[in-house]
Amino acid sequence: MNRKKVICPCYHVTKGDIADAIESGADSYKQVKKMTRAGKGCGKCKKKVKKLTKNCLQNNKR
Ligand code: FES
């Protein structure tokens, strides 16, 4: 995973930031949003953040 890839340009939230939030306990888009601020601006990244959150959670379960 390219951790440096920016998912939310509004707050400069990267893939790594989202993965870290999940690593430290976030288990939903809402919590990821709270912890990273991704999606709190224009909202354009919402879909991407949701998808990434889902993927990360699934990977953690394995
Ligand atoms: S790109 Fe994430 S809130 Fe604007």
pLDDT of residue 1: 80
Q: Hey, where are the domains in the chain? A: 6-61
Which CATH class name applies to 6-61?
mainly alpha
Phi, psi of 9 (to 5 degrees): -65, -30
R_g of the chain computed on alpha carbons: 10
Among 5, 6, 11, the mutation site with the greatest number of ligand 1 atoms within 8 A of its Cβ is: 11
If one residue of 14, 44, 47 were mutated to test the ligand 1 pocket, choosing by the most ligand atoms within 8 A of its CB, it would be 44
pLDDT of res. 39: 97
Q: What is the pLDDT of residue 60?
A: 80
Q: Identify the pLDDT of residue 28.
A: 97
pLDDT of residue 62: 58
Q: pLDDT, tens digit, for every residue of 1-60?
A: 899 999 999 999 999 999 999 999 999 999 999 999 999 999 999 999 999 999 999 988
Q: In b/e form, how buried is each residue of 23-50, taking b as 16+ CB within 10 angstroms?
A: eeebeebeebbebbebbeeeeebeebbb
Q: Checking phi first, is residue 5 left (phi over 0); if not, alpha (psi -120 to 50) or beta? A: beta
